[in-house]
Amino acid sequence: MNYLRTVLALLSVMVFGTAQAQTARFLENVLVRKTDGVTTVQLRPNCRMRYIDHQPAGTGSELRLQVSTTSACSGGGNAAVNETFIQDGLRLANVTAIDIQSWRTGELYITLRFSEPSSFVVRQRAVGWIEIDVDTRVDPSTLAATRPPPLDTVDPAEPESNEASRLATLRARQQRLEDLRRTLVETSDEGNFVVQLGVFSDPGPVLSRLLSLKVADSAFSREIRINDDLWHGLHLGFFATETTAQNALMQLSGDFPDAFIRRIRSGDTEAAQSAALIAADTDLPVAVVASREAVTDADLLASLYENGRQAVLNRQHALAIAPLTELLEYPDHAWRADGRELLAVAFERNGQTDRAMAEYNALLLEVTDPIAMARIRARLDGLEARTLSETTERVSTRSVGLDAWTFDGGVSHYYWRNQEQLVEDGNYLVSSSGVVGLLNASARRNGERWSLLMRVNGSYQNNLVEFDERGDVGWVSAAFVEASDNVLGLRARLGRQNNRGFGVLDRFDGATVDWKFLPGFSAGLSLGLPVDSPRFIGDSSRQFIAARVAAEELLDSTTSVSLFAHQQTANGLLDRQAIGGEVLYRDGDYSVFGLLDYDASYAVLNTALVNLNWRFRNGWTLTSRLQAGARPYLTTRNALAGQAAVSLEQLGDSYTEGQIRRLARDRTAENRSFAMGLSIPLGDRMDLSADITINNTDATVASGGVAQIPATGTELFAIASLVTTNVLGAIDLFRVSTQYQQSDWRTSTHMILDGRFAIGRRLRLTTGLRVESHERTVSGEEQRVLAPSIRLQYRVSRTLFDLEIGGRWSDRDLPPFELNPFVDDGSELTYGGYINAGYRLEF
């Protein structure tokens, strides 16, 4: 019998739905069953209860049951009860929660809170259960949101004397609950609902479609700007509830399958209403329709047409409207299309844009000539764009910072010292030591029309070792001023800069001008003096001029293309004469970049490169690069390699121009390389990446007293890294990396272990260990290296203090032909170390 009872209970759970764990003290279970739109909520008490009353009678947004309980229900404990019962299945009955409250023994209030006004019936079953039938088929908008009176007024009874303090606590808690509940209500705006039809880069055609659908609601557009992309979110509204919005959504689902309902805040509603593209509750203008009897009097129709036409020609547009309207009220005549077009023009020029658009839309249905249709569409597009721009300007509340200077940059100083020592020798050999100061700064001002940018990147190094022949040196890698005219689309940059997009190979001192002459199209000119190193200033012995045209946002904004021509001279000789271009294609998860650089004077391909970047849905990223061309880039100055002469002018003393160009060609090898990388996220906090590069460079040709540089053969580089974060702390980081390099000359393997730990908020400790193994193929020499390091970084406000110390132990097996008087067993042991100490101040 017990078995049978258990089975019946379990089966009832299966039939009626889920009964979750949060059963309140007075309720053993709450079961929910839905049949034909009526949901039954069955309250099963833990103790004996008797239904007394309920409020309100049959409909409302809350239902309060008053029941009496036996003393067994209180369990001998406190009579005051305030419990909440929540269960997912209750949503079938539109019930969000059930509150159980009691202020004295024997009386209990059970309140069902509905998500929307509902119709219900309450009854008590003989077994003691209380059942509430909720009819979910009834439209909630037709029901009153009646609530029972507040519980305090229902039960004003004095607390029982022995529970005064407990009840006071309970009431304080009740107040806290009320406060929280109020917060919940206040933070959820009472807002309206709108239907978002979609987001469009050009909403004009959609607006036309909406006009033709004659929707009864307001339509408005909201800008969604993400980085440099601008979208127009087109909405219909406004609806008091999601249910009413659902009706509009269903009517439009055929035309806008991705439409959905969203909330809009009340403040936004007012702004949107005032700027509606299509106003609700107003008569939409409609085109003139035939409403008179057909006439056979051709003179009458011709007269009406001619009167209207003459008025338009005389720019008396208001006068043209009446005869042309009358003309169109007559059906079936030869002047209808021409007359309607004239009427649309009259409306347009008379400032009645809506009526003009209505006539143009009607005209599109009447004409069949494709040229006329194109003409009408163009006019319609123009009117819609004008309407839209006026509206979106009003809707947009985004302010653009004008005439504000912004500065950023930093300055730093570092001391470093590297030294190494033979273990057997005992004398230190200082390799290098110095102090380097670096400065980078930029100032930017964005104006409504003019924008200015100034940037400088430079450094200065004091060498602290006597044998360094370079002495103290300075670099300037960038120093330019850039001005932009945002109205004309002009941009000019003057100073030291890079500009690979123009085919300029080196950093240069000069000027660049770009002109965006059409949206998405630009042309530019660049000229200047190339510099080999940022340590030097440009000299007039080398000069270049380059031009470029570029088109962006082609093929649905997926493709950009640029072409360049570049010519450079050195000491009066043609140094480089190249043409080429770049293509970038981006489509969702992958992009392809192509680059071509061809020297027309040498008829040599300097570079042909294709880069692929593909991000897969599972988070994997594949990168690939295929490159072929000259190494180094072929310029006539390549002829100086291996020669005693330092300029082409000096080389010209020994060789003719033709011979110099031949030498340049001989110093330049052919190269091919292929690289592929894969990045794989492993879980949330771990990344595995692997890259492989295969490289092959041909031999150069011996000539002019310069020996051949042999071919490299096939070189292989491979690296794999496993990086994980958030292991010991949120920002800790660990990395294990291995590198493998193989060529005809040597094989090397590296293993690197890194770890970064946060010590408090300001201090970071980074430890590293590198283990290397090298084997030189020709000599058979082997070398093993162990290099640990430790780094401390401490930040105070905008200043970062940095200290890094590292060691290096090397064990090298000497080849038989290499003599070292301090080495007697053929193994050379060295150890060394380095220290970097400095600061960086950001501003």
| Residue among 134 and 324 whose Cβ is closer to another protein | 134
State how beta strands 428-446 and 450-463 pair: antiparallel
| Least distance between another protein and beta carbon 173 (Å) | 8
Q: What does the alpha-carbon distance between residue 455 and residue 481 come to, in Å, rounded to a whole number?
A: 7
Q: What does the alpha-carbon distance between residue 50 and residue 126 come to, in Å, rounded to a whole number?
A: 10
| Residue among 412 and 700 whose Cβ is closer to another protein | 412
| Residue among 264 and 362 whose Cβ is closer to another protein | 264
| Least distance between another protein and beta carbon 309 (Å) | 47
| Least distance between another protein and beta carbon 156 (Å) | 19
State how beta strands 559-570 and 733-742 pair: unpaired
| Residue among 125 and 685 whose Cβ is closer to another protein | 685
| Residue among 231 and 655 whose Cβ is closer to another protein | 231
State how beta strands 799-813 and 782-796 pair: antiparallel
| Least distance between another protein and beta carbon 493 (Å) | 23
| Least distance between another protein and beta carbon 485 (Å) | 22
| Least distance between another protein and beta carbon 88 (Å) | 7
| Least distance between another protein and beta carbon 109 (Å) | 12
Q: What does the alpha-carbon distance between residue 305 and residue 715 come to, in Å, rounded to a whole number?
A: 84
| Least distance between another protein and beta carbon 679 (Å) | 10
Do 524 and 513 touch, CB atoms closer than 8 A?
yes
Q: What does the alpha-carbon distance between residue 311 and residue 839 come to, in Å, rounded to a whole number?
A: 80
Q: What does the alpha-carbon distance between residue 650 and residue 666 come to, in Å, rounded to a whole number?
A: 19
| Least distance between another protein and beta carbon 786 (Å) | 25
Q: What are phi and psi of 376, to 5 degrees?
A: -70, -40
| Least distance between another protein and beta carbon 758 (Å) | 7
Q: What does the alpha-carbon distance between residue 560 and residue 550 come to, in Å, rounded to a whole number?
A: 7
| Residue among 18 and 274 whose Cβ is closer to another protein | 18
| Least distance between another protein and beta carbon 482 (Å) | 20
Do 232 and 199 touch, CB atoms closer than 8 A?
yes
| Residue among 620 and 745 whose Cβ is closer to another protein | 620
Helices 370-395 and 353-366, axial angle in degrees (round to 10): 150
> Is the peptide bond prior to 323 cis by the omega test (within 30 degrees of 0)?
no
| Residue among 63 and 634 whose Cβ is closer to another protein | 63
| Least distance between another protein and beta carbon 111 (Å) | 7
Q: What does the alpha-carbon distance between residue 28 and residue 53 come to, in Å, rounded to a whole number?
A: 21
Residue 630 neighbours by CB distance under 10 Å? 20
Reported as half-sphere exposure (CB side, CA atoms, 13 A), residue 109 has a value of 22
Q: What is the b/e burial string over 323-345, where b = at least 16 CB atoms within 10 angstroms of the residue's CB?
A: bbbbbbebeebebbbbbbbbbbb
| Residue among 233 and 285 whose Cβ is closer to another protein | 233
**Runs of H (alpha helix) within 423-557:** 554-557
| Residue among 767 and 827 whose Cβ is closer to another protein | 767
| Residue among 82 and 779 whose Cβ is closer to another protein | 82
| Least distance between another protein and beta carbon 730 (Å) | 3
Task: Residue 233: name the closest of 395, 451, 447 by CA.
Answer: 395
Task: Residue 324: name the closest of 301, 291, 299, 297 by CA.
Answer: 301
Q: Which two tokens stand for residue 736?
A: 């294990």
Reported as half-sphere exposure (CB side, CA atoms, 13 A), residue 595 has a value of 16
- Computed on alpha carbons and rounded to an integer, the radius of gyration of the chain in Å comes to 41
Q: Which two tokens stand for residue 333?
A: 């005549």
Q: What is the b/e burial string over 735-766, where b = at least 16 CB atoms within 10 angstroms of the residue's CB?
A: bebebebbeeeeebebebebbbbeeeeeebee
| Residue among 99 and 597 whose Cβ is closer to another protein | 99
The per-residue DSSP string of 328-390 comes to HHS-S-TTHHHHHHHHHHHHHHTT-HHHHHHHHHHHHHH---HHHHHHHHHHHHHHHHHHHHH
Do 68 and 53 touch, CB atoms closer than 8 A?
no
| Residue among 5 and 470 whose Cβ is closer to another protein | 5
| Least distance between another protein and beta carbon 256 (Å) | 10
